[in-house]
Amino acid sequence: MAVMPTDLVPMLTTLRKEPPADERWAFEMKWDGVRALIAVDGARVRITSRNRLDITTAYPELRGLSEHLEVKRVLLDGEIVRLDARGRPDFAALQKRMHVSSADAARQLASSDPVVFFAFDVLHLDGRSLLSSPYTERRAVLDALGLDGPSWQVPPAFEGAGEAAFEASRSRGLEGVVAKRLASAYHPGKRTGEWIKVKNVLAQEVVVG
């Protein structure tokens, strides 16, 4: 039985201009939020940032995840997002939730400006490491968890539909898509080229002299 890791960092994406055209990929929407790993160990929930910082206090509405799950231990990868009235990510509104260290202030903000955790990967489940499992297997495990609650959900993934998914992200006003190779394992902290992000708008800051 594998021990659930406590020091992982999320797998990274590689920026490309166009989505892959072949059928060996799945496509997910790119959510503009805070990347986070959520570890559920019995009744205990711990949320860590991509820099291994403990940000659990800032998002009290996500602690109810432990009561929703039927499994005892799970490690999830995903994005913490603040949605606007039209269901689109609002990063400016999310900023007031970030870096909150006061539990009282966090509870007030959870009521006035609630967030949603979009889970898109599962790395460990009840004593079993899934890091070396292919994306398709991890996705099936994730879908079977039934993460459909007031503050958490699993957004859909589309296999072999790169252009359609990219157009859907554009029409919904989203940032873009993330393409994941179906056979890819999970490589914490690494940028392998098996996860590709494609943005609808590319911006660069320059200084004109």
- Which of 17, 30, 197, 199 is labelled catalytic? 30
Contact 108, 60 (CB under 8 A): no
Q: Is 190 labeled as catalytic in the residue annotation?
A: no
- As annotated, the active-site residues are 30
